[in-house]
Structure 1
Amino acid sequence: MDIIVSPTPVLNGEIQALSSKNYTTRYLLVAALAEGTSTIYYPAHSEDSDAMRRCIRDLGAVISEDDEKIVITGFGRSPRDVKELNVGNAGAVLRFLMAVTALCKDVTFVNTYPDSLGKRPHDDLITALGQLGVEVEHQNGRLPIRIKGGEPKGGKIKVSGAVSSQYLSALLFLTPLLEEDSEIEVLDDLKSKVVVGQTLEVLEQAGIVIHASEDYMHFTVPGRQSYQAKTYTVQGDYPGSAAVLAAAAVTKSDVAIHRLTENSKQGERAIVDVLRMMDVPLTHENDIVRVQGNGKLKAVEFDGDTATDAVLAMVAAAVFAEGTSRFYNVENLRYKECDRITDYLTELRKAGANVEERQSEIIVHGRPEGVEGGVEINAHYDHRVIMALSIVGLRSKQPIRIKDAHHVAKSYPQFFDHMALLGASVEWTEN
């Protein structure tokens, strides 16, 4: 399905933030790794979190769910032996489970998205798993990937953090369950340290002890630990909310989003700070972010490494800012569902934006008068690109058509419902 986004001068209304995808997938996993029954309140429903639900059920977790909560009886350190797992297009789920299924004898992760997740490399994690004695068969680091595990051994492990922090998080989920103590050393630079902080926060809540250096480059993990069955509450999601907040910023608006925790460890919380830096009128009180936009924005410079999943929305806002904006230290955007620098900027240019790319930078020459639009745009099956391009459509002079926009469901199935509720002119159409 495609979506047609037409010029929309005004947005008004209130919505509840979606529940955090990152926290939901982590809570689902630690609940599955616990012996006993855990309860998770307000879990996210998205393709990623649904992929984790499906896979942990296949691995032996018992799950029941109602409108408010999900109850999980875990398999502990003894997942069921399964032949195949299908994570869909969920990269984080794949990487976390590549580590966890080292506890199984022989599991193959199938490749159902050859043009998206199927293109993403996982070599650094494969190398690290080899240091645990796990044999991995793969296609030049890509799916399908076969994990031949059963008896992984702890010890000294080195893992690169240059491409993704998810490899490190995967090891942090697995190593507490091993017989031996482990030391994990991160090589190269570590991307998205804030997300590692979320992993450590969830592990601590699950009763796991990990000693981390201040810079997250060295970890000591005692072995022979057990995950504890607990009750968790998922906080509101900043990455998805970033797109709605940016949309409010580029229009005349009065938009409030509830359930956005002020002291959240989500790096994408920075969307609030960046919009303030762009002179967008907003308040953040009692876990409610309220934007009263006037459509006028100032250019900004921002280190995007700690807020990876909000950068595309920030760039979309900067398209309409006065002056030249620069988002730097964002190379890891290249290794997502698509190349979120080259692919995204190519589509922005089609709509009329004036943007430039460097290897690890996005430069935006703002056009406060708006852009032409009137084009069909390829979002490369990427949920973040779909949301960001829809922001640009609100300030285009002619409607834009976003191909295959239903892939927004990967993280935010209700995105266009919420946008329509706020007054955005969006219309689904057959592709």
Structure 2
Amino acid sequence: MMKLMQQSQHGLHGTLAVPGDKSLSHRGLILGAISQGTTELRHFLPAEDCLSTLTALRALGVAIQRQETTVVIEGRGINGLVRPQQPLDMGNAGTATRLLAGLLVGQNFETTLVGDDSLSQRPMERVQEPLMRMGAQVALTAGHLPMRITGQPLHAIDYQMTVASAQAKSALILAALQADGPSKIIEKLPTRDHTERMLQAFGGQITTASDQRTITVSPAKLQGQMITIPGDLSSAAFFITAATIVPGSKLCLTNVGLNPTRTGLLSILERMGGRVTIRQRTQVGEPAGDLEIQSAQLQPIKLTAQDIPAVIDELPLVALLAATADGISEISGAAELRVKETDRIATIVTELRKLGVKITERPDGFVIDGREPWHVQDTQLDSHGDHRIGMMMAIAALRIQEPVTLANASAINISYPTFFEDLQRLQANTEVSK
């Protein structure tokens, strides 16, 4: 059990550089591994999920050196990977599992992917089905890990996606790099485009049509690059939320990634009356900039399925924001939350109710009445092994005076190992930089 920080009389203050983007760290490792020459990743995120990707690539024969947040990868080219000596243990890394599946289906050896209890419950048919249409051999265990992949020659595909999933899309893109011609992927809804942007930086032949949904990928040789990874907006989101809901707060978050497919939380906050100022820094490749956030009184919001892809990882925080808003908020079309690290709809409802939040569970979301004052019902909170739930509850605790504890706090190391240290410094009004 970890004792959480309680309500601050003066709010949160200071400047923070959040760790590198998790999605980009995964993709930089994978694309560097299959490129020609050397790739250097700066501001890499050394969290458990990304280290699972790094370890898996080493097992596939890739030479990788890491010095804190700098990683140097000696690429082996698209056909240079080797059969691992044992199953690849992906830990809790769902992104890495699905992306590596797309890469491994075109190799000339057999691989088995395994994971922890949480990852082993997450659905994998969404990558299996389209990959098999390309000629891949992918065997699942009742739709889940372990996943056994027997590498095969792949043929090009025109595929209409049935789920809005950046991970599934990225798996198809990596497979398409190994196909016998150009492939076309049509998304159900536009999702985060980190793979497309980074693949272009490595010299890949990939285009996105004006509808932002149709992607064409051709086989190509990639060349190693030097890439500086911006701060992770999904990590910054916890401090954006904290500064918004803790009275008297004013924070500056520096060099945060502002990819348009990832800024859904900022758009939602604007609709709710949040006070966030963006100072743009760069526009090339992955846009990034500095954010200034001040506390604000929020208005309720209504979100539907069209809003969800751009904010899927931040929905626990949207629920928390709604719990402080002056009215009733509704979130629907978010059934995808039920197949994340936990059933996030159920865990969000369970944990916020412990703090006295008036929240009603729906099959695909929630209804939240932020007008009701919080009256703590249970001081023993739980992350349920889900890093985002754990951090969300640590932020929520800053709104209450009662001492509370958090079980399974170590799950936060999956994406943000220094989260509590950074939060403590900001609450103590100490400037933080990394």
Fold in common (TM above 0.5): yes
Is contact 1:61-1:72 (8 Å) kept?
Answer: yes
Distance (whole Å) between structure 2 residues aligned to residue 210 and residue 301 of structure 1: 35
Distance (whole Å) between structure 2 residues aligned to residue 407 and residue 2 of structure 1: 12
Q: Which amino acid aligns with 1:328?
A: S
Q: What is the aligned partner in structure 2 of residue 194 from structure 1?
A: 191
Q: Secondary structure at the match of 1:63?
A: strand
Q: Does 1:212 align with 2:208?
A: yes
Q: Which amino acid aligns with 1:258?
A: T
Distance 1:356 1:156, change over 3 A: same
Distance 1:146 1:342, change over 3 A: same
Distance (whole Å) between structure 2 residues aligned to residue 388 and residue 417 of structure 1: 15
Q: What is the aligned partner in structure 1 of residue 18 from structure 2?
A: 17
Distance 1:104 1:408, change over 3 A: farther
Q: Which amino acid aligns with 1:240?
A: S
Q: What is the aligned partner in structure 1 of residue 284 from structure 2?
A: none
Deviation sequence 1:78-134 (CA, Å, 0-9, x none):
2111131111100010001112122141111123x12x1110110121122222322
Q: Secondary structure at the match of 2:325?
A: coil
Q: Does 1:148 align with 2:160?
A: no
Distance (whole Å) between structure 1 residues aligned to residue 364 and residue 387 of structure 2: 21
From 225, 233, 246, the equivalent of 1:238 is 233
Q: How many residues in Structure 1 have an aligned counterpart in Structure 2?
A: 413
Q: Which amino acid aligns with 1:199?
A: T
Q: What is the aligned partner in structure 1 of residue 418 from structure 2?
A: 414
Q: What is the aligned partner in structure 1 of residue 28 from structure 2?
A: 27
Q: Which amino acid aligns with 1:86?
A: D
Q: Normalization by structure 1: what TM-score?
A: 0.89
CA offset at residue 253 of structure 1? 0.8
Distance (whole Å) between structure 2 residues aligned to residue 326 and residue 65 of structure 1: 44
CA offset at residue 368 of structure 1? 6.2
From 254, 257, 267, the equivalent of 1:273 is 267
Q: What is the aligned partner in structure 1 of residue 340 from structure 2?
A: 336
Q: What is the aligned partner in structure 2 of residue 283 from structure 1?
A: 277
Distance (whole Å) between structure 1 residues aligned to residue 211 and residue 126 of structure 2: 20
Is contact 2:164-2:191 (8 Å) kept?
Answer: no
Q: Secondary structure at the match of 1:65?
A: strand
Deviation sequence 1:54-95 (CA, Å, 0-9, x none):
111111111123345211111212211113111110001000
Q: What is the aligned partner in structure 2 of residue 428 from structure 1?
A: none
Equivalences for 1:98-109 in 2 at 5 Å? 98-102=101-105, 103-109=107-113
Deviation sequence 1:122-181 (CA, Å, 0-9, x none):
0121122222322222211111111111x3312225364426331121110221233x11
CA offset at residue 374 of structure 1? 4.2
CA offset at residue 254 of structure 1? 1.7
Deviation sequence 1:205-254 (CA, Å, 0-9, x none):
1111123344455443223x111111111111110111111011111212
Q: Secondary structure at the match of 1:146?
A: strand
Is contact 1:373-1:397 (8 Å) kept?
Answer: no
Structure 2 gaps of 5+ residues are 281-288, 430-434
Structure 1 gaps of 5+ residues are 426-431
Q: What is the aligned partner in structure 2 of residue 429 from structure 1?
A: none
Q: Secondary structure at the match of 1:275?
A: helix
Deviation sequence 1:270-326 (CA, Å, 0-9, x none):
3333333333333222522122215x3222234232121122112212211111122
Is contact 2:21-2:231 (8 Å) kept?
Answer: yes
Distance 1:118 1:3, change over 3 A: farther
Q: Does 1:398 align with 2:409?
A: no
Is contact 2:131-2:175 (8 Å) kept?
Answer: no
Q: Does 1:256 align with 2:241?
A: no
Q: Does 1:6 align with 2:10?
A: no
Distance (whole Å) between structure 1 residues aligned to residue 200 and residue 368 of structure 2: 40
Q: Secondary structure at the match of 1:13?
A: strand
CA offset at residue 266 of structure 1? 5.2
Distance (whole Å) between structure 1 residues aligned to residue 111 and residue 169 of structure 2: 21
Distance 1:348 1:271, change over 3 A: same
CA RMSD of aligned residues (A): 2.2
Q: Normalization by structure 2: what TM-score?
A: 0.89
Is contact 2:126-2:163 (8 Å) kept?
Answer: no
Distance 1:361 1:8, change over 3 A: same
Q: Secondary structure at the match of 1:40?
A: strand
Q: What is the aligned partner in structure 2 of residue 91 from structure 1?
A: 94
From 73, 81, 84, the equivalent of 2:83 is 81
Q: Secondary structure at the match of 1:341?
A: helix
Distance (whole Å) between structure 1 residues aligned to residue 49 and residue 24 of structure 2: 11
